Structure 1
Amino acid sequence: MKPVRRQKIQTITMVLTLQHHQHFPGIPSASGLAFYNGHYYIVGDDATKLFILNADLTLNNRLPVPGAESNGEQPRIPKKIKKDWESLSIIKAANKTALMALGSGSLAPHRNAALLYFPDTGAMEIKDLTAFYETLKLEADLNIEAATELGEALLLGNRGHLGKPENLLILSAVQEIWKPVSGTHICHLHLPEEPGFSGISGLAWHPEKDWLFFTTSKEETTNVYDDGKISDSRMGIIKNATAAVKQSTVRPDEWFKLEEVHPVFNSQKIESICVRELADTMEIMLVADNDDGGSHIFRLAAG
């Protein structure tokens, strides 16, 4: 399949400024990030714990993930059996607020799962996504790397690779995707033209603006399973997102080469993003997993 030709974006109206960055050797493989009720939540694709940070990025708690007990004291689960939690979003499940991490679906049955954590009660459980993912596999080479709530809907980001260089946004009308889902809509995400293939890695919806923030990263791999050499990461914004993702194709309205925002982003594999409004600015938080056993967090101000 020929790579999709991607458009060039001429105008950027938002300015990003790096406020803080920090390495966390004790948080492995950060791949999902969310903010809820004064805390950041981080899940790693092979981690045995869900990590909770205070707003100042100090560690608040680490919660064992169900099913990880068999790994003993090891902080990371072996690649062949890990759930591959690649995203973290805030949804409503059974009329309660839940943080949901999704397995990538790239290796059945291990990665066909959702992890639900209910922060108001502390309950945590795993749901089987096999039925939902098997339906998606009819349309895509499955590798779910990103997810975000979109009103009452759920938007998933399916990452392409050098062997199949396409990124898909998959819209589900319901957030409880372990239940029967009547239908989904697939939107092809076309990125600005530049060397190499950049695969989607994170999604975050800003409800007041109806903007969809997303991240991508470059990794030299030709399939959904193997890791590869990491180069640079990008951030994009899709405006009027609720309507835009219901089309057959969508392109970012703004596009940022993160290494041009600050040199610290050189060769960082950005995995997830969350966005929130502060009193005088918009805060954008990013996490990176460079396959070295730790994680890196970046705080950006947008204006």
Structure 2
Amino acid sequence: MKATITQTLHYDNLPSASGLEMLGDNYYVVGDDSPFLYGLDKNFQIVSREAIFDTTGFENGRIDKAEKVDLEGITLLQHQGKPYLLMMGSGSAPARRKAYLYNICGDDICREGAGKEGARTIDLDNLYTQIEEQVGLEEGSLNIEGVAAGHGKLYLLQRAIATGQNVLVSYRLADFIPYLLGEANTNLPQPELSYFRLPVLKNLQAGFSGAYVYDDKLFFTASLEDTNDAYNDGEVLGSYIGYIPFSWVGKQDTLQIPATVISQADGNPYTGKAESLVVQKREGKGRYRMIVVSDDDQGGSELLELLLSEE
């Protein structure tokens, strides 16, 4: 399997890209220290910026680390025939245990709890506490980095930290959406857990960073970062793309999943931190055109067009 970059774009005015979603010819990006949802057109030009929560603290172009919501995932949900964007915090600190539901169509379902911002705020503390207990995570080790919906389920990717595990947390959307919306007589949805191994370099395991459902696979980005906790950044040693076949979800064994280093056109490894992806299209058997966003940890972002080939 090979993942080769065909084009790279840099954005100085889109800080710390961490989540990417696609709807038609449009792309939506969130950053982990930005209060805005960025809209990109088919040529990847920024055409919109809308506040999804309070913009206080963004005056210098990035929210302070101790205060940021740390949005690390975004996915498209279909509810009652209409599209919504779900954005979720990592859960690695109290301020990061929230989700935001953004209404693309402009009807009333997200108005309650939105205030003057464009998204409905949802407290995820109970849900994240449940994940911590069921996975057996120590305090401060929760780090939800990928969010994707498809085939009737919502998938959350828990990023391995140090010697921890990469975990796929799956929910039935029929249970999860009523919980998100706070509908009457709904309980915490029950997750299904799956455990996976990713590539190791210098005694460090790569960790999940983004997710996207396409065909019969859950595609993911991952990065290998030299850090021992879910809060602090570290040196990036490599970024990867891979996939989990849906037939593997729910297996009790810890499985080694297919993954490959993201490479430049000249064959050298990409040294940025891949954070999220979408699959544009499939080009024949085992070939996928993809878009990846990455965070330079300096307040800027990159967008990569690349080709993934399984051959």
TM-score of the pair, normalised by structure 1: 0.86
Q: Is the 8 A contact 2:5 2:263 kept in 1?
A: no
Q: Is 1:58 matched with 2:53? A: no
Where structure 1 has 5 or more consecutive residues not aligned to the other structure, the ranges are 1-11
SS at match of 1:105: coil
Q: Quote the offset at 1:27 in angstroms.
A: 0.4
Q: Where does residue 181 of structure 1 map in the other structure? A: 188
Q: 1:199 — aligned with what?
A: 207
Paired residues for 1:260-275 under 5 Å: 265-275=269-279
Residues 1:80 and 1:119: Cα distance change in structure 2 (over 3 Å): same
Report the counterpart of residue 122 of structure 2 in structure 1.
127
DSSP 3-state at the match of 1:74: coil
Report the alpha carbon displacement of residue 41 of structure 1 after superposing the two structures with TM.
Answer: 0.5
Q: CA 1:51 to 1:183, structure 2 compared with 1: closer, same or farther past 3 Å?
A: same
Moved more, 184-193 or 215-224: 184-193
Using the TM superposition, give the Cα deviation of residue 60 of structure 1 relative to its aligned residue in structure 2, in angstroms: 1.1
Distance 1:149 1:37 in 2: 16
Q: Counterparts in 2 of 1:197-276, with a 5 A limit?
A: 197-206=205-214, 209-239=215-245, 241=246, 243-249=247-253, 251=255, 254-259=258-263, 265-276=269-280
Instruction: Tell whether the 8 Å contact from 1:157 to 1:200 is kept in structure 2 after alignment.
Output: yes
Q: Aligned pair count?
A: 283
Q: Tell me whether 15-24 or 33-42 shows the greater mean CA deviation.
A: 15-24
2:98 matched to which residue of 1?
113
User: Which residue number in structure 2 is paired with residue 293 of structure 1?
Assistant: 299
Distance 2:293 2:266 in 1: 15
Indicate the residue corresponding to 2:64 in structure 1. Answer: 78
Q: Distance in 1 between matches of 2:171 and 2:150?
A: 9
Q: CA deviation at 1:73?
A: 3.2
Matched residues, percent identical? 27
Partner of 1:6: none
Residue type matched to 1:133 in 2? Y
Q: Deviations over 1:218-267 (max 9, x none)?
A: 1111111111111111111223x1x3212224646532111376557532
Structure 2 counterpart of 1:19:
6
Deviation at 1:24, TM superposition (A): 0.5
Question: Offset at 1:192?
Answer: 4.0
The aligned counterpart of 2:166 is: 167
State the 4+ residue runs in structure 1 displaced beyond 4 angstroms.
260-265, 278-281
Look up the equivalent residue of 1:41 and give its one-letter code.
Answer: Y
> Could you tell me how far 1:302 is from its partner in structure 2?
3.8
Q: Which amino acid aligns with 1:227?
A: D
Residue number in structure 2 paired with 1:282: 288
- CA separation in 2, counterparts of 1:21 and 1:40? 16
- CA pair 170-72 structure 1, distance change in 2 beyond 3 A: closer
Q: Which residue does 2:87 correspond to in 1?
A: 101
3-state DSSP of counterpart to 2:263: helix
| Partners of 1:251 and 1:236 in 2: CA distance | 13
Letter in 1 for 2:78: K
How far apart, CA to CA, are the structure 1 residues paired with 2:297 and 2:167? 24
Deviations along 1:5-60, one digit per CA (max 9) or x if unpaired, are xxxxxxx3xx5442211110110000000101211110000112111000111111
C-alpha distance after superposition, 1:180-209 (max 9, x if no partner): 333111110112454322111011110xx2
